[in-house]
Amino acid sequence: MHDISDSPIALRRVRGFHLGGARRRVDGFPVETRVRVPGDTPTTVDMNGEHMVGQLYATHYQQAHRAYALPVLLWHGGGLTGACWDETPDGRPGWLEYFLRAGCDVVVSDAFERGRASFPAWPQVLSDAPEHRSLDAVWHHFRFGANGTFPSGASAQDLRRAAYPGSEFPVEAIEQFGRQFVARWAGTQAYALDAYAALLRDVGPCVVIGHSQGAAYALRCAQSHPDLVRAVVAIEPPLARDEPSPGARAPHLFVWGDFIESTNSTWARYRAAAERYRAALAANGCVAELLDLPAQGIPGNSHMLIMDRNSLSIAQRVHAWLAQMAQ
């Protein structure tokens, strides 16, 4: 694979926009007096009224001269935003720059209630409080190290020592990774899928690379929009009892990292469900391939393999697969 790290990025448009959702009357806010501007007189704040609920945010980077017909959509995982495709926590280029330099049109989005997409009020619209992930919780759940071993100190040495041996995640930069975390709500899948469907209709035929929760959404959208989703890369999708419909046609690639047996049963359960899903796709006549990194002789990847030290070599493998499939 040729080195693309120094090629410039020539863009026709950088089109950022919101999409999806609907106008809704929201009531039940107390009318309050607040000081918005320090030193100013207090203002009456009445939030009751018409609000937009359910939209997502996307940036569509359009190449001046694109190398591929289909744009690449990058869908983030839970508790994160489109920023996860940006610079890695240790300051290397991320998958956004990779696919831009490869000559792809790229669409990076924030799902409903994440990042620039905005969250509607709760309890007025969303019923529960959100989840804020701690560094401690992520340490084990994203497979950087064993449960309960997140070091209280922040020295790079402590962090490296506590991580799984051979971990490719830049654990010394875990604080920088933690700056990316956003609150997430449970039970908002229907909103998110509606907004992603609106995005697909806007963008047209495309390939979707989804990470974690974004991969689960990508699989669902490949089912619901077989005319638009022409290939899916599902990186560690958390699945349960999902089943593909017989109508699915797009080629699928499932990507898994390392340390899955080392964590609690969660990731083994998700991977087993994804493997059942992949087998069902194959039985339906779909191309449904597996990139199991450790089995390919590439050990050490965490759940955040899109920002692990070898993230760009994984991007290259995904790119090569897409170039082969999505003609």
Applying the rule CB under 8 A, the residues between 225 and 254 that interact with a second copy are 238-242
Among 61, 144, 196, 267, binds a second copy (CB under 8 A): 61
**How near is the Cβ of 296 to a second copy at its closest, in Å?**
26
**What is the C-alpha separation between 224 and 207, in angstroms, rounded?**
14
Based on the shown chain and the rule CB under 8 A, indicate whether residue 148 belongs to the binding site for a second copy: no
Handedness of CA 92, 74, 275, 183 (dihedral sign): positive
Which uninterrupted H or E stretch holds 192? helix 189-203
Based on the shown chain and the rule CB under 8 A, indicate whether residue 55 belongs to the binding site for a second copy: yes
Based on the shown chain and the rule CB under 8 A, indicate whether residue 33 belongs to the binding site for a second copy: no
- The half-sphere exposure of 321 on its side-chain side, counting CA atoms within 13 A, is 26
CB within 8 Å of 76: residues ≥ 6 apart: 82, 83, 84, 85, 109, 110, 111, 114, 211, 212, 213, 214
Based on the shown chain and the rule CB under 8 A, indicate whether residue 31 belongs to the binding site for a second copy: no
Based on the shown chain and the rule CB under 8 A, indicate whether residue 153 belongs to the binding site for a second copy: no
Residue 323 backbone phi and psi in degrees, to 5: -60, -30
**What is the C-alpha separation between 289 and 285, in angstroms, rounded?**
12
Looking only at residues 260 through 299 of this chain, which bind a second copy when binding is defined by CB under 8 A?
266, 269-270
**How near is the Cβ of 158 to a second copy at its closest, in Å?**
13
**What is the C-alpha separation between 20 and 117, in angstroms, rounded?**
10
Among 71, 115, 145, 251, binds a second copy (CB under 8 A): 115
Q: Which stretch binds a second copy (CB under 8 A): 79-87, 160-168, 227-235, 316-324?
A: 79-87
Instruction: Determine contact, residues 286/249, Cβ cutoff 8 Å.
Output: yes
Tokens representing 323 are 């170039």
Based on the shown chain and the rule CB under 8 A, indicate whether residue 167 belongs to the binding site for a second copy: no
**What is the C-alpha separation between 192 and 59, in angstroms, rounded?**
17
Binding-site size, a second copy (CB under 8 A): 87
Among 48, 127, 147, 157, binds a second copy (CB under 8 A): 48
Instruction: Determine contact, residues 18/82, Cβ cutoff 8 Å.
Output: no
Based on the shown chain and the rule CB under 8 A, indicate whether residue 159 belongs to the binding site for a second copy: no
**How near is the Cβ of 324 to a second copy at its closest, in Å?**
26
Based on the shown chain and the rule CB under 8 A, indicate whether residue 166 belongs to the binding site for a second copy: no
Based on the shown chain and the rule CB under 8 A, indicate whether residue 39 belongs to the binding site for a second copy: yes
